[in-house]
Chains A and B, each alone.
Chain A
């Protein structure tokens, strides 16, 4: 354990009191301290939104980038220095809307990073428009007749694309969420944790009581994480019951493991190959 206060940021927190993000923040600190990963070894990348502000509120390295673009930045940083533990804090709009293409392709690429989606089913920062995960019928100022699109199902999409670690957490269950984050970090490959996060200001449907009524924890002893079919069934549970835990986990080489140039030292630590470069330039001479 590292003293958890080492992750405390002195920057003023800007979230609404009661926001689900506080629970996620707490779980992140707990997970990092439990795994004894010191702040200087951690990089938290985020996009734009309330979720995107997370790295300001935890003392680690931070790259707070563009709306929707956290995953590419995180992947680039991880390739450059695979000694970094890279976490991504993203929102449902950030990750499943603006950055949806990167979500899809990060799954295919399987970089060794951990994605936390603060899924409040609404655009918090921009004051309450519908998000890709908003329920059908949700009324907002900008959707006065109610949302008519089918909600994006991140778990099912992830499973269908061959994701290697798919989990769901709840910001109100900090202990369990910390466990999920720890297992996500320890998973070799892309770990996705979709986190149910009540937004107390703009989402009056998916509230703490709404979630409390539906959530249940998958039984670690009986749930077979490698059963894709069953995972897909679990992924479709929502309106009545919401499963929490690691829904699916499998192994295939992480992105960095497939790259020869990364077999030894991190890219950033390797020596410049001046001699090899000269050989290449000279061979160009000869070959022609």
Chain B
């Protein structure tokens, strides 16, 4: 077994959990290790108990580990709450001042050392460097990270932190930690970022130029990344608006006028956007909506995770219209999926919905493939030159594939007439029977070609007789569960869905033929994807492993439940 270590930093919000986590993960990343971290916190700014759980491995990981090898307890409560999660031989690192004793407790005068280094503010550095020391890591890497972070600040800040690092490191020289390993000098495996950041970068790589939003966890982080990247000389406008209704309509307005546009929200906000979704559909205006799911109904749990808006995303509408739905499972998939969502939304002039969730948005990943930027962004609109007679341009011309050439307003002589009422080819309102049928048919006709754009679910040991099926952010956990099951000698595999709608029914039916067990692993109560599969292919799942406690999936827990 290679390196696979789980470290939790727990304490009150505002105590520096993030800082310790950041220092540790940066050091590990520099050392060419894979890191993965989840953030667990309450919906409050200060106080409360939070933790960051970091997993370090020498192979790609996209899921948290269910036990702890090292617990860095920044307060007594963290110790009380989490000591039972320690693996055999695991350690708790805690400040001597807190006064906890026990076999697995390793006390360290963290605050005293910090004061010695120049101030309590460096306590996080002391803790991080002690942790690196326990793991057998080199202090030099931590010093490099500190240099990256504080190098541009006053020299005294840097000096204090270097001192703190050296004191923390020395303090654990004699301590023994069962999972210490020998660190090798390797290149970083990739960039380290959270899910929200990959969504934002994917949007930028799609040449998204306008985003409107109303703050709602866990979607807001996507927008704050867009804002900060927008300040780096990109033609991007991000506007916080009065409500989600304004957000979706403003994005539609910008898209109508020719720039790629998006909005991001969570379930409650997505509800408010539903009429706008219909407007995008009937006006055939491209639009990307990211729904970062959290548990509901209503406000539900603002800082917890869920995968329970799938059916709503598929069916949210007035009447019927085509749409794309995607649910990326990894950081690289999210980057690529955003580009696909923008491209296809514009190509087919239909809305694209991207489903992520709190777990994905707030977790820290290593992207092991570089983020490529295409040389040219393919656009799908026509100019006067491509329209035979601009003076009689028909925005909603009926065509064999249902896609009408889309001109932009103020981009030539062609006038662009668009309405959310049913309309004839020229864009004027019409309720004539033949017009209504022609237009409804025209919009729906796109589905055939849209379905062909859907990539099949990714198969991992797809030939196995038992398949675990999942979608979105649980990918890493499910794949790892399959690895464990196979080690136990079971013939298990999995299918992971990113491209969900229009549902690639034929392909999926073929993949599910003659399976002994089809197990739906989903973050909802009713196996929503399972129901879609049944509806679309006639194939019924045999078992479910459902989770709706607001917490992420853990590979071993999937296995344990599966064995029952």
Chain A residue numbers with a CB within 8 Å of B421 are 48, 64
Q: How far is the CA of A60 from the CA of B198 in the complex (A)?
A: 40
Report the minimal beta-carbon distance from A253 to chain B, rounded to whole angstroms.
Answer: 15
B254–A288 CB distance below 8 A: no
B1 within 8 A of A: no
The digit string for B193-237, where 1 denotes a CB below 8 A from any CB of A, is: 100000001001101011010000000000000000111111111
| A59–B429 CA distance with the chains assembled, in angstroms | 14
Q: Check A161 for interface membership: any CB of B closer than 8 A.
A: no
Bound Cα distance A62, B283 (Å): 11
Q: Complex Cα distance A262/B429, Å? A: 34
Given A79-B237, A270-B235, the answer on whether A53 and B429 have CB atoms closer than 8 Å is yes
> Are B253 and A73 neighbours in the complex by a CB distance under 8 Å?
yes
The docked-state distance in angstroms from the alpha carbon of A65 to that of B411 is 21
In the complex, whether B245 has a CB less than 8 A from a CB of chain A is: yes
Q: From the candidates B234, B373, B377, B419, name the one contacting A62 in the complex (CB within 8 A).
A: B419
With a 10 A CB-CB cut-off, give which of A48, A66, A274 has the most chain B CB atoms. Answer: A66
The docked-state distance in angstroms from the alpha carbon of A231 to that of B285 is 41
Residues of chain A within 8 A (CB-CB) of B276 are 66, 69
Which A residue's beta carbon lies closest to that of B230? A261
Separation in Å of the B366 CB from the closest CB of chain A?
9
Contact of A76 with B419 in the complex, beta carbons under 8 Å: no
A274 to B250, CA, bound (A): 25
A43 at the interface (CB under 8 A from B): yes
The reply to whether A76 and B251 form a contact with Cβ atoms under 8 Å apart is: yes
Task: Check B410 against A40 for contact (C-beta < 8 Å).
Answer: yes
Least CB separation from B235: chain A residue: A270
Structural contact, A81 and B191, CB atoms closer than 8 A: no
A55 CA to B204 CA in the complex, in Å? 34
Whether the Cβ atoms of A268 and B279 lie closer than 8 Å is no
Task: Give how many A residues have a beta carbon under 8 Å from the other chain's beta carbons.
Answer: 56
Distance in Å from the Cβ of A278 to the closest Cβ of chain B?
5
What are the residues of chain B within 8 A of A83 when measuring CB–CB?
A: 410
Complex Cα spacing A288 to B149, Å:
10
Residue among B255, B371, B413, B419 making CB contact with A64, cutoff 8 Å: B419
B249 touches A76 (CB 8 A): yes
Docked-complex contact A64 and B418, CB < 8 angstroms: yes
Which residues of B sit under 8 angstroms from A164, Cβ to Cβ?
none
A75 x B250 contact (CB < 8 A): yes
Chain A residues, CB < 8 A from B133: none
- Answer yes or no: A187 CB below 8 A from chain B CBs: no
Contacts between chains A and B (CB distance < 8 A), count = 201
A residues in contact with B250, CB < 8 Å: 72-73, 75-76, 79
Question: Does A276 contact B234, Cβ atoms closer than 8 Å?
Answer: yes
Least CB distance, B109 to chain A, in whole angstroms: 31
Minimum CB–CB distance for A68 against chain B, Å: 8
Among the stretches A101-109, A128-136, A168-176, the one at the interface with B is: A101-109
Taking CB atoms, residues of chain A closer than 8 Å to B26 are: 288
- The verdict on A74 contacting chain B, using a C-beta distance below 8 Å, is yes
B256 lies within 8 A of chain A by Cβ: yes
Does the CB pair B191–A285 fall under 8 Å? yes
Cβ of A45 within 8 Å of any chain B Cβ, yes or no, is yes
Q: How far is the CA of A284 from the CA of B370 in the complex (A)?
A: 10
Q: How far apart are the CA atoms of A60 and B418 in the complex, in Å?
A: 11
B145 closest partner in A (C-beta): A288
**Counting CB contacts under 8 A, is A234 at the interface?**
no
Say if the beta carbon of A63 comes within 8 Å of chain B. Answer: yes
Interface residues of B in 425-444 (CB under 8 A from A): 427-429
B279 contact set on A, CB distance < 8 A: 65-66, 69
Query: In the bound complex, do residue B242 and residue A101 qualify as a contact, i.e. CB atoms below 8 Å apart?
Result: yes
| Bound complex: CA A102 to CA B428 (Å) | 26
Residue among A66, A76, A104, A261 making CB contact with B212, cutoff 8 Å: A76
Within 8 A of A (CB), among B173-208: 188, 190-193, 201, 204-205, 207
| Chain A residues within 8 Å of B410, by CB | 40-41, 43, 61, 81, 83-84
Q: Which of A84-117 contact B (CB under 8 A)?
A: 84, 101-102, 104-105
Q: Is the CB of B427 within 8 A of A80?
A: no
Set A77, A102, A105, A278: member contacting B256, Cβ < 8 A:
A77
Checking B246, B370, B374, B409 against A102 with a beta-carbon cut-off of 8 angstroms, the contacting residue is B246
Stretch at the interface among B82-90, B257-265, B449-457: B257-265
> How distant is A151 from chain B, measured CB to nearest CB, in Å?
23
- Contact among A65, A78, A273, A281 for B420, CB-based, below 8 A: A65
Asked if A277 contacts B258 (CB within 8 A), the reply is no
Q: B80 in the interface, Cβ–Cβ < 8 Å?
A: no
Is the beta-carbon distance between A61 and B409 smaller than 8 angstroms? yes
Interface membership of B241, Cβ < 8 A: yes
- Let me know if B465 is at the binding interface, CB within 8 A: no
Partner of A72 from B233, B249, B412 at Cβ < 8 Å: B249
Residues 263 to 286 of chain A near chain B (Cβ within 8 Å): 267-268, 270-274, 276-278, 280-281, 284-285
Please encode chain B, from 50 to 64, with 1 for each CB lying within 8 Å of some chain A CB and 0 for all others. 000000000000000
Query: A261 touching B415 by the CB < 8 A rule?
Result: no
Q: Are B237 and A81 in contact (CB under 8 A)?
A: no
Q: Report which of B232, B261, B418 forms a contact with A76, defined as CB distance below 8 A.
A: B261
- Which residue of chain A is the closest to B375 with respect to CB atoms? A274
- Decide: A45 and B258 in contact? CB cutoff 8 A: no
**Across the interface, do A76 and B257 meet the contact criterion of CB distance under 8 Å?**
yes
Q: Does A118 sit within 8 A of B, measured CB to CB?
A: no
For the complex, give the distance between the alpha carbons of A261 and B254 in Å. 14
Digitize B353-390: 1 where CB-to-A-CB distance is under 8 Å, 0 elsewhere.
00000000000000000111111110000000000000
The reply to whether the CB of A184 lies closer than 8 angstroms to some CB of chain B is no
Question: A284 touching B191 by the CB < 8 A rule?
Answer: yes
With a CB–CB cut-off of 8 A, which chain B residues contact A288? 26, 29, 188, 191-193
A11 contacts across to B, CB distance below 8 A: 428
Asked if B408 is at the interface (CB within 8 A of a chain A CB), the reply is: yes
B191 to chain A, nearest CB (A): 5
Contacts A69-B279, A74-B253, A77-B409 aside, 20 further interface pairs with beta carbons under 8 A come to A40-B414, A43-B409, A43-B410, A61-B409, A62-B418, A62-B419, A63-B256, A65-B279, A72-B212, A73-B249, A75-B253, A76-B254, A76-B261, A77-B256, A84-B257, A102-B242, A260-B231, A261-B235, A273-B233, A288-B192
Q: Which 3 A-B pairs have the closest CB atoms?
A: A76-B253, A80-B257, A73-B253
A to B CB contacts below 8 Å, 23 in the list: A40-B414, A43-B409, A55-B417, A61-B410, A62-B427, A65-B283, A66-B275, A76-B212, A79-B254, A80-B259, A101-B242, A259-B237, A267-B210, A267-B259, A268-B209, A268-B411, A274-B376, A276-B232, A276-B233, A277-B205, A280-B234, A281-B205, A281-B370
